[in-house]
Structure 1
Amino acid sequence: MARLQILELPEGAGDDRPPFVLVVDEYVPQRYIIGADQPEPVDQFSGIAEKIGARAVLVFEETIEIPANDVPVGSDGLPLTVRVEGDFEGFHEQVQKEINIAQENMRRGIDHIKATYGS
């Protein structure tokens, strides 16, 4: 039975959605008899790319493995999950610096108001 895979392509500047290619492998060609007036075989994949928004449709009789589609699994046989944690080193210092700047700006504003309108 044929398999369907998606090969994602790098995005270009004018792409409104990620470009991709549909890959059909393990395909067994079949002949269709449409009529005596049709000398050429029917192309089952004609127009599919346009209909689904793919850049192309690649069809192979062999098995094609796309490494990007491999899902790494752990020792339990389940897909691996990766936990990403933010780097908060220096975060406290950055926040404290912004607080100090805001307090200084408030103090200057109060001093300006006092100098202009009196205390």
Structure 2
Amino acid sequence: MARLQILQLPEDAGDDRPPFVLVIDQARLTDFYPSTEGKSIYQVAQERLTLVDSLDEMADRLGARAVLVFEDTIDIPANETPVAPDGYPIRVRVEGDFNQFRDQVQAEIAKAQAELADTLRRSAR
């Protein structure tokens, strides 16, 4: 049975949604190409172009950059969930380092206060 996976792509500044590719693997060739028995080369080529068009339409409707179809199993490492020895998924907690952010905010406050004091001195003259 075919599997559906999503491969997230790096975001660009103009992206309003995270870009992705839909990956269909373990697909049987017969699911996509009907029997070619008794058909001309032109008819077979036309069927294959129709498939490409329908996959492009699917990508457009889903908002994907592309739809990729494979007969083999494709493992996308980003989709794997690491499992601890106890069998449960490993959870990682990431905490931000706000020291630099705090320093930046304090520097901006000091700058704004200095500009305000300078403006008040000039207006008092």
What TM-score does the superposition give when structure 2 sets the normalisation length?
A: 0.59
Distance in 1 separating the partners of 2:18 and 2:25 = 22
Separation in structure 1 between the aligned mates of residue 98 and residue 29 of structure 2, nearest angstrom: 57
Larger radius of gyration: 1
Note the alpha carbon deviations across 1:40-92, whole angstroms, 9 max, x for none: 32526341100100000010011111111111011121111113356688xxx
Quote the residue 1:22 is aligned against.
Answer: 22
Structure richer in helix, relative to its length: 2
Q: Which amino acid aligns with 2:2?
A: A
Q: Residues 19 and 73 (structure 1 numbering): CA distance in 2 closer, same or farther, change over 3 Å?
A: same
Question: Which of these residues, 53, 58, 62, is aligned with residue 48 of structure 1?
Answer: 58
1:59 aligned residue = 69
Question: CA RMSD, aligned part only?
Answer: 2.7
Structure possessing the higher relative contact order (Cα contacts under 8 Å, 6 or more residues apart):
2
Write the letter of the residue equivalent to 1:25. Answer: D
Alignment coverage as a number of residue pairs: 88
SS across alignment from 2:23: strand
Give the structure 1 partner of residue 85 of structure 2: 75
Q: 1:87 to 1:19 in 2, by over 3 A?
A: closer
For structure 2, the 5+ residue unaligned runs are: 107-125
What are structure 1's unaligned runs of at least 5 residues? 99-119
Aligned to 2:6: 6
Change (3 A) 1:85 1:16: closer
**TM norm structure 1:** 0.62
Q: Structure 1: which 4+ aligned runs deviate by more than 3 Å?
A: 84-89
Q: 1 CA distance for matches of 2:23 and 2:71?
A: 11
* Aligned-pair CA distance for 1:32: 3.9
What is the rounded CA distance, in whole Å, between the counterparts of 1:87 and 1:14 in structure 2?
28
User: How far apart, CA to CA, are the structure 2 residues paired with 1:19 and 1:32?
Assistant: 31
